[in-house]
Amino acid sequence: MKQFYEKAAAAARKAAVLVRKLAVWLAPPRRLLPACLAAAFLISLLSWAVGDRLADAVLYFPSARGDGLKSELRALPRFVRSEPRAELVAAEVLLGPRNASLIPAFPKGSRVESCVYRKRILYLDLSEYAALADRPSLEKGLLALKKSLKATLPLSRRTVITIGGREPFADSLQTASSGSADRARTADGGDGNLAAKSEKKN
């Protein structure tokens, strides 16, 4: 009986040693887990860098049915800085819609000349081709472009669009003001001093 207990104890000790060796063999090294996490992060970073870098942008165009502006989603490259993103969106609006139910916002050949974003104000200059449209079409195009840029830069305070370095319709407003002044002078008798003429008559 004593020999049986001795053999059983020896077998138990051997089994314990085997279990300890097996546990040491199966246990991961201390640095294995951080290394695996770092490798997984590096793989995900590389896949993001070389993977799909596109984002949906909302572009607006006049409706062919004449019922205002309609939006169109377009996958465009991502940009961190505001100026390249706004310039790309403006260029896509100038290219025209893909949807057949929409019409181009600007005449063919229009392009972006410059784009500056300062203190949350976007300054965008278009080529003179954009001014070839009639006034109602140009007004719709400018509204579509401003809405598209606002959707791209929602934190912007204001968008200033010029064509060939000049604000659209500024000349017509100035001409209208000059015309009003001329009409007032004509009604005044030509020299702008109706009171003096009345005194001369008296």
Angle at 143 between CA 138 and CA 145, to 5 degrees: 95
List b or e across 157-177, with b for residues whose CB sees 16 or more CB atoms inside 10 angstroms: eebebbbeeeebeeeeeeeee
CATH architecture of residue range(s) 54-172: 2-Layer Sandwich (3.30)
Residue with tokens 């972006």, as numbered in its chain: 112
Residue 189, Ramachandran bin (φ over 0: left; ψ between -120 and 50: alpha; else beta)? left
Q: Is 78 within 8 Å of 114 (Cβ atoms)?
A: no
Residue with tokens 């001093």, as numbered in its chain: 193
Residue with tokens 């000790």, as numbered in its chain: 13
d(CA 122, CA 93): 16
Q: Would you list the domain boundaries of the chain? A: 54-172
Long-range CB contacts (< 8 A, 24+ apart) of 109-112? 112/87
d(CA 199, CA 19): 124
Tens-place pLDDT, residues 20-68: 776 666 566 655 566 666 667 666 655 555 445 888 999 999 999 988 9
Q: Are strands 158-163 and 69-77 parallel, antiparallel or unpaired?
A: unpaired
Give the pLDDT score at 20.
76
Is the pLDDT at 11 greater than 90, yes or no?
no
pTM for the whole structure: 0.61
Average pLDDT over residues 79-87: 92
Q: What is the mean pLDDT of the chain?
A: 79
Is the pLDDT at 198 greater than 90, yes or no?
no
Structure-model confidence comparison of residues 119 and 51, the more confident one:
119
Is the pLDDT at 177 greater than 80, yes or no?
no
DSSP letters for 144-192? HHHHHHHHH-TT-SEEEEEETTB-TTHHHHHHHHHHHHHHHHHHTTSSS
Average pLDDT over residues 161-175: 77
Give the pLDDT score at 24.
67
Average pLDDT over residues 8-15: 74
Give the pLDDT score at 169.
84
Angle at 21 between CA 7 and CA 2, to 5 degrees: 10
Average pLDDT over residues 82-98: 96
Structure-model confidence comparison of residues 128 and 188, the more confident one:
128
Type of residue found at 103: I
